[in-house]
Amino acid sequence: MSLTITALSVGRVFGLHKPSVLYLRGWGETLDIPLIMFVIQGGGAPVIVDTGADLDRAVKHHGIRMEQTPEERPEAALRALGVDPAEVGVVVNTHLHWDHSSNNHLFPNARIVVQQREVDYASNPVPWHRRQFEHVPELEAAWRRAEDRIDAIDGDAEVAPGVSVIALPGHTPGSQGVVVEAETRRYLLAGDCIDLYENWAGDAQAEHIPSGFFTDIVAYNDSLERIEKLGCEVIPSHDPLVVRRREFR
């Protein structure tokens, strides 16, 4: 299979507290990170993994500093790659946090693949997680704009030839990764199970470092161990180096 993955920046977030991305590390330090939409091409219809944020809602409701150039708007970034949003057959949300799932409605003909456990949790999160899922009274969650096209699944599944989702719970209950059999090797789009290359590389204290945000740290560890056994090159969800490299063949 000659699948390729392209990492498109669909916005950038500034001044994140480092321990929110690297568990209990980097107190007092901040990070600037990209929001990435991945496009898998070369099989049948293109597959999209994660759809980024909605700039207006992000600024108004999430109290963050975010920038999105006209070229970084998801439709524009896709069209520049020669992809019409209407031809996308499958959208995978690695999870339903607002910065990964706010533009599902831009893909009118896509089946939207999400874990059932994620839909359940996003509909009833603990109070400290409500903002991330936009489960708040003043706002209808952006992912619900395409809720009628969600295909809620349970566990691992092939979603297109050479493209499979695998359950990686921990960051959220229904977090999932996407394994892609590309031209030269097998890749894992890890979602927020692995935000940065630094999370995967670990440090002197730990082989890998979880995100600072999670619902189940024990399940999270199992997911990291599962990734070790996949034999994949890991592609993190928010690392600037991923955008710089852009193409994974």
Beta carbon of residue 129, minimum distance to Zn ion (angstroms, whole number) = 10
Question: Strand pairing partners for 136?
Answer: 139
Task: Kindly tell me which of 97 and 117 has the beta carbon lying closer to Zn ion.
Answer: 97
Cα dihedral value 108, 114, 119, 122, nearest 10? -90
Amino acid at 126: V
Count helices and strands in the chain by DSSP H and E runs = 7, 13
Q: Take residue 220 and report the two structure tokens written for it.
A: 């999270």
Pick 4 or 131: Cβ nearer Zn ion: 131
The smaller minimum CB distance to Zn ion, of residues 120 and 158, is found at: 120
Q: At its nearest, how many Å lie between Zn ion and the CB of residue 238?
A: 9
User: Closer CB to Zn ion, residue 19 or residue 89?
Assistant: 19
Min. distance of Cβ 163 from Zn ion in angstroms? Answer: 21
In terms of CB distance, is 83 or 208 closer to Zn ion? 208
* Cα–Cα distance for residue pair 143/146, rounded to 1 Å: 6
**Residue-by-residue DSSP string for 45-89:** S-EEE-----HHHHHHHS--EEE--GGGSHHHHHHHTT--GGG--
85's CB contacts (< 8 A; 6+ apart) are: 74, 75, 78, 106, 107, 108
Shortest spacing between CB 98 and Zn ion, in angstroms: 9
Least distance from C-beta 211 to Zn ion, angstroms? 7
Q: Which residues are at the interface with Zn ion (CB under 5 A)?
A: 97, 192
Containing 171, the helix (H) or strand (E) segment is none
